[in-house]
Amino acid sequence: MADHDIIFRYFPDMNERQRAQVQALAGLYGEWNARINVISRRDIDNLYPAHILHSLAIAAFLGPLEPGTTFLDMGTGGGLPGIPLAIAYPDCRFHLIDRIGKKIRVATEIASALGLDNVTFQHGDIGECHKKYNYVVSRAVMALDALVPLIAKNVERGSCGANRYADGLVCLKGGDLSAEIAGTKRPAVEYGLQEFIPEPCFETKKLVYVPF
């Protein structure tokens, strides 16, 4: 079984273009990571389960979305989770922001090579992003109680349409989150990632949803 087949096991409805984009990720991240380290060296060989499928757990949680749904990927690094999500949701719009210029460059180049036309990029701090989005997503960027107040201004409220979940924050985390969740001062729902993608490598991984 090819490494990328694990993606299609959980997302069997991807069309030929999406499948080709997913298959191209290993070569693109491998090439760029050799030049600019955006994924740990020990993890690059484990790209599909540890990074791509992990990112797509957000799609497994959210389910189908209305065309035009917008996302902000805060602290995207080399484009995770934003780029895999942009592949999964070609009719949605994604804005990826990171403070480290070389990481945004990697994400921009990979998105361009994939032909993704639903992604924009910003080199800067979250304080410099003033637009609002249906969903803010992040992948182990910072403690939840610090993250929620930072992105509160960027979340649309009450505009999610027919989407299953109200506008809010969806982030991928790990470990004991009880203190972080208690400190958010907002309702937050914690899920074990294996509820959506029952892979052994996700045993300790979590997804947290904070509706606004």
For the residues of 189-202, what is the DSSP string, one character each?
Answer: EEEEGGGTS--GGG
Give the C-alpha distances (Å, rounded to integers) separating 34 from 31, 46, 187. Answer: 5, 15, 41
| Confidence class for position 140, pLDDT limits 50, 70, 90 | confident
* pLDDT at residue number 201: 92
| Closest residue by Cα to residue 3 from 56, 63, 45 | 45
| Confidence class for position 103, pLDDT limits 50, 70, 90 | very high
Summarize pLDDT for 173-211 with one digit per residue, the tens. 998 999 999 999 899 999 999 999 999 999 999 999 999
Contacts of 41 (CB under 8 A, 6+ apart): 33
| Closest residue by Cα to residue 167 from 180, 186, 141 | 186
Summarize pLDDT for 48-100 with one digit per residue, the tens. 999 999 999 999 999 999 999 999 999 999 999 999 999 999 999 999 999 99
Which helix (H) or strand (E) is 182 found in, with range? helix 178-184
Output 175 or 140, whichever has higher pLDDT: 175
* pLDDT at residue number 129: 95
